[in-house]
Amino acid sequence: MTTLPSPDRHNQYLLPAALALLIFIGCLRIVLDNSKNTRLFFRLAGGGYRVLRRPIRVSKDEIIEKGCDIFDGKWVWDNLSHPLYTEKSCPLLVKQVTCLKNGRPDSYYQNWKWQPDGCNLPRFNALKLLEILRDKRLMLVGDSVQRGMFDSMVCLVQSVIPEGKKSLKRVPPRKIFRAEEYNASIEYYWAPFLVESISDHATNHTVLKRLVRLDSISNHSKQWEGVDFLVFESYVWWMYKPTINATYGNLNNIQEYNVTKAYKIALETWANWIDTSINSHNQKVFFMTMSPTHLWNWEWKTGDGGNCFGETQPIQHPYWGTGSNLDVMGIVKDVLERLRVNVRVLNITQMSEYRKDGHASIYGERKGKLLTKEQRLDPKNYADCIHWCLPGVPDTWNEILYGVLLQDYRKF
């Protein structure tokens, strides 16, 4: 007991040390600021040069405790910290997700914070994220659910960047947000099956007729090469029917595959690309598990044949809907475990399962257009219980992604 220095004695040493550190950081900052364009370099043993990164201060409460499963937890009401932005503060939001503007009467869905059971998530800090992304590219690859995550990410960071120093461009199948002063880009890439398909046109894709090339990915993957942070997701496009038309090899040999079998083959094609093309030293890969749908309300209450329409509160009891296919989840787990490259799972399925209240419902779009008055009167047929309102659930996926990137940056 007595060997421990008293807090006072401790402080005697801490104060000068802290001052010295502050002065050091101050000098470092001046050097760094003066070298805005020339940036500091230091020589590596091998003879190469490496850019010295600007330090990010990571406080104690931003550290995720080791061993904590951040995907295991609950939604807590917190209208002080959430939402992290508003529809008005993010003019870049597309009308597909601006549910309030589109007439949604309640805004409770914006006020929930994800609270892991074993630890806290760091509070989202756009400046720190931009620092992590300095001279780098973050790319989200997948379908329109993933596009929602992209839109969310753009909103989360854009407000700290002055006018004229940011841009959002459409370069199909990509959308690219740039933060000039950081030379950072946040991108979205449309590839609803990850592998090639006849639905790959970013704006004019066939929805009813689907044909997937299970063994072809290079048309897409050549545009993923060298990207620093990649986040993949693919699910809902597979789940249209129990079988799906696909080819393997010969393009003329079209066969109907059991969806789970097709998904497995496609994911293996993707995995093969990951293992042969990703350099783990300077690239990081994430795979986001399925975003749940809420199509049948009898699954969470005594339903009336309705869906997510009219839901204003998260589910508070253990819940897993039939929309999140366990066979597919198992395939994802198996394939990722067998990879040589470390791919991090963003296992957002369970947490999002609770959020029956978060979908666009009748306050979104169908076929690129807001619902008409008549369609809104028929939520059973027209409510969108797949996509999410923003601000909303995808912001939390990004808070988690940010949390993980911040921990990695700290350890680097």
Residues with a known catalytic role: 144, 384, 387
In the complex, what is the shortest distance from the CB of residue 137 to ligand NAG, in angstroms, rounded to a whole number?
4
For residues 277 to 296, the per-residue mask of contacts with ligand NAG, x marking binding by CB under 6 A and - elsewhere, is ------------x-------
The b/e string for 261-284 (b: 16+ C-beta within 10 A; e otherwise) is ebbbbbbbbbbebbeeebeeeebb
**Contact status: 81 vs ligand NAG (CB under 6 A):** no
- Choose between 11 and 219: whose C-beta lies nearer to ligand NAG: 219
**Contact status: 258 vs ligand NAG (CB under 6 A):** yes
Is 316 exposed, middle or buried, given 0-12, 13-18 or 19+ CB atoms closer than 10 A? Answer: exposed
- Choose between 144 and 260: whose C-beta lies nearer to ligand NAG: 260
Q: Strand, helix or coil at 360?
A: strand
d(CA 323, CA 320): 8
- Choose between 85 and 382: whose C-beta lies nearer to ligand NAG: 85
Q: Which of 82, 113, 128, 136 binds ligand NAG (CB under 6 A)?
A: 136
**Contact status: 329 vs ligand NAG (CB under 6 A):** yes
Segment contacting ligand NAG by CB under 6 A, of 86-94, 98-106, 347-355, 394-402:
347-355
For the record, the structure tokens of 142 come out as 């997948």
Taking CA atoms, 128 is separated from 67, 102, 125, 407, in Å, by 23, 33, 5, 12
C-beta neighbour count of 306 within 10 angstroms: 17
Give the relative orientation of helices 144-158 and 393-411 as an angle to the nearest 10 degrees: 70
Segment contacting ligand NAG by CB under 6 A, of 162-170, 186-194, 241-249, 399-407:
241-249
Angle at 167 between CA 164 and CA 173, to 5 degrees: 170
Q: Which of 65, 135, 275, 408 binds ligand NAG (CB under 6 A)?
A: 135
Q: Which of 143, 187, 196, 399 binds ligand NAG (CB under 6 A)?
A: 196
**Contact status: 200 vs ligand NAG (CB under 6 A):** yes
In the complex, what is the shortest distance from the CB of residue 312 to ligand NAG, in angstroms, rounded to a whole number?
13
Among residues 177, 85, 113, 74, the alpha carbon closest in space to that of 390 is found at 85
Angle at 309 between CA 116 and CA 396, to 5 degrees: 25
In the complex, what is the shortest distance from the CB of residue 196 to ligand NAG, in angstroms, rounded to a whole number?
4
- Choose between 62 and 196: whose C-beta lies nearer to ligand NAG: 196
- Choose between 168 and 377: whose C-beta lies nearer to ligand NAG: 168
Is 95 exposed, middle or buried, given 0-12, 13-18 or 19+ CB atoms closer than 10 A? Answer: middle
d(CA 170, CA 322): 35
Q: Which of 339, 345, 370, 404 binds ligand NAG (CB under 6 A)?
A: 345
In the complex, what is the shortest distance from the CB of residue 79 to ligand NAG, in angstroms, rounded to a whole number?
4
For the record, the structure tokens of 122 come out as 């760091």
Residues composing the chain: 412
Question: According to CB under 6 A, which residues from 8 to 37 bind ligand NAG?
Answer: none
**Contact status: 255 vs ligand NAG (CB under 6 A):** no
Residues in contact with ligand NAG by CB under 6 A are 79, 135-137, 183, 185, 196, 200, 204, 213, 219, 241-245, 256, 258, 260-261, 289, 327, 329, 332-333, 345, 347, 349-350
